Structure 1
Amino acid sequence: MSVESEVSLDGTKLMITVKGRFDFGSHQAFRDAYERFYKVPELYVVDLKDTTYMDSSALGMLLLLRDHAGGDNAEVQVINSNPDVRKILAISNFDKLFDIS
């Protein structure tokens, strides 16, 4: 498991990449990925291309990110999820809260 983050040069976009298992063991690394920036980005992108597993604690972490980013006014995208992860997101109705592609 690893979580990496990269902010755009202008500071408006934060890309968070989760590799391996996205579960409770990722909690602190995932929070650090977005809380360590002084300037709040306008867009958060969570790339799940290399995520092999996701559990309910990962769903909770996505909700915490959404709250941190501004709640209903937040722009958070979840991209590149594999079919299994996409199914979990769909069952949880996260497509109503996040832009999932």
Structure 2
Amino acid sequence: MEYACESKGNEFHIRVSGRMTHADHRGFRGILGSINEAGSDRIVFDLDQADFLDSSALGMLLIVRDAAVQQQRVVVLKGASGQVEKLIAIGKLHKYFEIA
């Protein structure tokens, strides 16, 4: 997994590319740190360039969501397609995230 973070107004964007799997849990800690430092009301995961997510990746996204809810922040999953979009649908993530 590769990622890039950027603040855009009151939103914090994380662009994820490649495969996001259990092996990326250490790198994901960097994303968590950046999110906490940003303090934005909306956290947007841009999954347009993500090729594959496994169940561990879903768990990592849910960790972000749980922390965001406690801080009254919103997490958005944006631009998913292919396998990633199917996994989001199968996991019924629309119940937990805003889907764009």
**Normalised by the shorter chain, which TM-score bucket?**
0.7 to 0.9
For 1:1-101, what aligned pairs fall within 5 Å after superposition? 1-8=1-8, 10=9, 12-36=10-34, 37-71=36-70, 73-101=72-100
Aligned residues: 99
Contact residue 5 and residue 34 of structure 1 kept, 8 A? no
What RMSD over aligned residues (CA atoms) do the two structures have, in Å?
Answer: 1.9
TM-score scaled by length of structure 2: 0.86
Amino acid corresponding to residue 5 of structure 1 in structure 2: C
Contact residue 13 and residue 45 of structure 1 kept, 8 A? yes
Residue ranges of structure 1 left out of the alignment (5+ in a row): none
Q: Quote the sequence identity (%).
A: 32
Change (3 A) 1:39 1:48: closer
Structure with greater proportional helix content? 2
Residue ranges of structure 2 left out of the alignment (5+ in a row): none
Structure 2: distance between partners of 1:92 and 1:72:
24
